[in-house]
Structure 1
Amino acid sequence: MNKFYKRFVFLIALVLVISGIVIYSTVDINTLKNLGEFQWWSIALAVFAVALGLFFDGSRLMHLVKISNEHITLYEAVQVIFGNYFLALLTPGATGGAVAQLMFLRHAGVPTGKAAVLVIVRTLLSIFFLACCMPLILLHDHGIVPGISNTTLMVITLAAFFGILFIVWGARKGFLDVIVVWLTRKFSITKRRKIFAFYRDTKSAISLLLKSPRAMLLVFVESGLNLLCIYAIVPCLLLGLGVYDADWTSVMGRMIFLNMLLYFMPTPGGSGIAEGGFVLLFANTVPAGTVGIVAVCWRLIAEYIPFLIGLYYTLTVFGRDFLNRQLAQ
């Protein structure tokens, strides 16, 4: 069995095991009663929310490519987006997602250097939007994480926010170059080259962000709409369970908080951590005995279905040989 099939089978097994454990550990005597009242129209509403989010994702990518003086079609943008979902779930820490975006952008005719910059910009904008939301979430939702005060979380969030601004300012002024060289002075030549290449692409990404402020503001808004639509899956599912009086601001805030953490988790696509974090954050919001099922449904609609579509596009465009080469690296 080749590398691709081994990784694919492992992922499927991992998803099934995690889903089974999450559901088994959260069911109780109220599960069947609450599921019996579930309204199936909420599934269609959740799928529509995902589709709308993917539309904004494709739109922001096309606008980004236009800012870099290149051009891609909507269909090519769709391939980039779903390819990202596919390889992100197949690789630890979702590192393969960036590779997939780079390869699809190159296939669409975007030069490698610009493609690498665009991938970094997409990630930076998403993280920056979430970072901007975090202070508002922590001010509204007290005790979001048991055992950790909101004050501590606020300090961490503000430190990360100003850290991002410092990196942008330092890269633009040039003195961050000296810091990077000093921090990597004891690394091997190979590692230093990789770090310098990534840092060079990051500087180019920052330059692109500041190149066209008005156009980039539109891309930033589209980034936020993309994420909010994807996170709206959970409110849609809760409505289907008859939850009409929830604090929807807190629900969306906790989804933002959870997904912010998933950007830095080492497991493929955040598997395991996403489901566990969801159960922890929403145990008191979701009807009794259904929090695990809602967590699995959320992951299915938000990640696993786009993963399968990304598999189709990747095999269609590049074939299995490409996957074997990428997964072997």
Structure 2
Amino acid sequence: MTDATDISYSKRSSWRRLTAFSLTFIVLTAIGLYVVYDVFAERSFSFDSDLLSPQMLGAVAGLLFIYFLSDGLRLYFTLKALGHQMPLGTMFRLVFLNLFFSNVTPMATGGGFAQIWYLHHHGVPVGRATAATTIRTVLAVFFIFSLTPVFLVTLDALDGNTLAGDVGMALAVFVIIYLSFFTVLLTRTHWLIRPLSHLLTRLHHFHLLSDARHRRWQFKARREMLRFSHSFRDYLGGRPLFIGLSILFTAIFLLSLFSFPALLIHGLGYDVDYLISLGLLVVTTFIMYFAPTPGASGISEGVFGTFFRDILSGNHLILVIVSWRLLTIYLGMLIGLLVLQRELVRNRRTSG
């Protein structure tokens, strides 16, 4: 009876946190848009029907298809390189679950945990699932971190921009942190196992873990950390075809993601250099990696407004920001929420 009560309480608590994060996302997004509207758009906004032309809607639909497809395939082929075959339908449901959770939890942590839970629920060991989602993220980070310094140096649009200047220092610090973490993870895994084991021991000491749960978690923590480390080596030793395809679809995914503003700006009749728009969004995305807010809400809108204010007129700036976020984030989040509801109903029926 106690276990059932604890599970029920845990579920209610999780939903409360999820609701709180979602409301935070909405509030911070509204604040970010208002700041751009007030500071950069000169309190000007107008809707342009050019965005609803058949040609524009067709181009947007085509880019969305590539965006969602490549997002699913980059993880699909990462898993294949690790020796796991997942149904494509399962992978694409995972795309939208990730979009929902990663944008309503701070630092996008929830997206990773949700994917690991979902993959484990479909037969992938936790260590392997963690490695697959981490490798998928590392590949994207590698592209973004490699391109950001190039655009910071070459883009005239960023000359004299204080925010862009601060990014250079953040880039150096973040690269060092990432490289240090993955070096330790791959070459000195036991350095991470020891503090994790100590943490579990302390929780047990303060009676937050029972004896049985403490023993079980100690075993699982060591096992999954070792699986996690070995999985990176297994990925590099996997079939070159699958490794190449995971990298290729990561590049296609990022290219499609970075192309949305250029498409929207072109649809509004502006003559903008594609590489300039691409470069500005690469730097914007890099800055979003540091945002502590759910889904970089508020920050992404402000950074976009800062970088694109000289390209767009005030009445179109808010329109492009909302359209960009709608296509790349809000739409996927809405679908992800529907997928989550369906999965929860299916799990209740199965357990019932």
Normalised by the size of structure 2, how large is the TM-score? Answer: 0.76
Who wins on radius of gyration, i.e. which is larger?
Answer: 2
Note if 1:102 corresponds to 2:116: yes
Deviation at 1:238, TM superposition (A): 0.3
Cα distance in 2, alignment partners of residues 268 and 182 from structure 1: 28
Instruction: Give the C-alpha shift of residue 293 in structure 1.
Output: 1.9
CA RMSD after TM alignment: 3.6
Query: Deviation string for 1:209-256 (max 9, x for gaps)?
Result: 422373323312211210110121101100111112x22212101111
Q: Is the partner of 2:269 in helix, strand or coil?
A: coil
Residue 294 (structure 2) pairs with residue 268 (structure 1) = yes
Q: 1:148/1:81 Cα in 2 relative to 1: closer, same or farther (>3 Å)?
A: closer
Which one of the candidate residues 48, 61, 78 is aligned to 1:35?
48
In structure 1, the residue matched to 2:263 is: 236
Deviates more, 1:89-98 or 1:232-241: 89-98
Q: Distance in 2 between matches of 1:288 and 1:138?
A: 25
2:244 alignment partner in structure 1: 217
Equivalent of 1:292 in 294, 318, 321: 318
- Tell me, what secondary structure is at the counterpart of 1:312? helix
Tell which deviates more after alignment, 215-224 or 251-260: 215-224
Structure 2 Cα separation of the partners of residues 304 and 320 of structure 1: 24
Contact 2:284 2:300 in 1 (8 A): yes
Contact kept? 1:230, 1:302, Cα under 8 Å: yes
Question: Given the superposition, is the C-alpha separation of residues 9 and 265 from structure 1 closer, same or farther in structure 2, using an over 3 Å criterion?
Answer: closer
Q: Distance in 2 between matches of 1:142 and 1:187?
A: 52
| Aligned counterpart, 1:253 | 279
Report how far residue 50 of structure 1 moved.
2.5
Identify the residue that residue 306 of structure 1 maps to in structure 2: 332
SS at structure 2 position matched to 1:318? helix
Other-structure match for 2:305: 279
- 1:327: which partner in 2? none
Alpha-carbon distance, 1:188 to partner: 8.1
Query: Structure 1 residues 190, 129: closer, same or farther in 2, change over 3 A?
Result: farther
> 1:156, 1:6 → 2: CA distance?
29
Q: 1:5 to 1:37 in 2, by over 3 A?
A: closer
5+ residue gaps in structure 2? 1-11, 205-217
CA contact (8 A) 1:233 1:298 kept: yes
Residue of structure 1 equivalent to 2:135:
121
* Aligned-partner Cα distance in 2 for 1:65–1:101: 12
Indicate whether 1:147 and 2:162 are aligned: yes
Check whether the contact 2:32–2:302 (CA below 8 A) recurs between aligned residues: no
Partner of 1:326: none
Q: Percent identity?
A: 22
8 Å Cα contact 1:42/1:239 also seen in 2: no
2:143 maps to amino acid: F
Deviation of residue 107 (structure 1)?
2.8
Q: Distance in 1 between matches of 2:232 and 2:156?
A: 34
From the superposition, tell whether residues 60 and 186 of structure 1 become closer, same or farther in structure 2 (CA, over 3 Å). closer
Query: In 2, are the aligned partners of 1:140 and 1:250 still within 8 Å (CA)?
Result: no
Unpaired segments ≥5 residues, structure 1: 323-329
Per the TM alignment, residue 90 of structure 1 is displaced from its structure 2 partner at its CA by: 1.9
Instruction: Tell me if the contact between 2:21 and 2:104 (Cα under 8 Å) persists in the aligned partners.
Output: yes
SS of equivalent residue, structure 1 residue 224:
helix
* 1:175-223 Cα shifts (integer Å, max 9, x gaps): x7559969999998459x8998996566345324422373323312211
Distance in 2 (CA, whole Å) between partners of 1:238 and 1:153 is 25
Partner of 1:138: 152
1:46 is matched with 60
The CA deviation string for residues 57-95 of structure 1, in whole angstroms up to 9 with x for no partner, is 111111111122111111100111110111112212221
Calculate the TM-score normalised by the size of structure 1: 0.80
Q: What's 1:82 paired with?
A: 96
CA apart distance, 1:319: 4.5
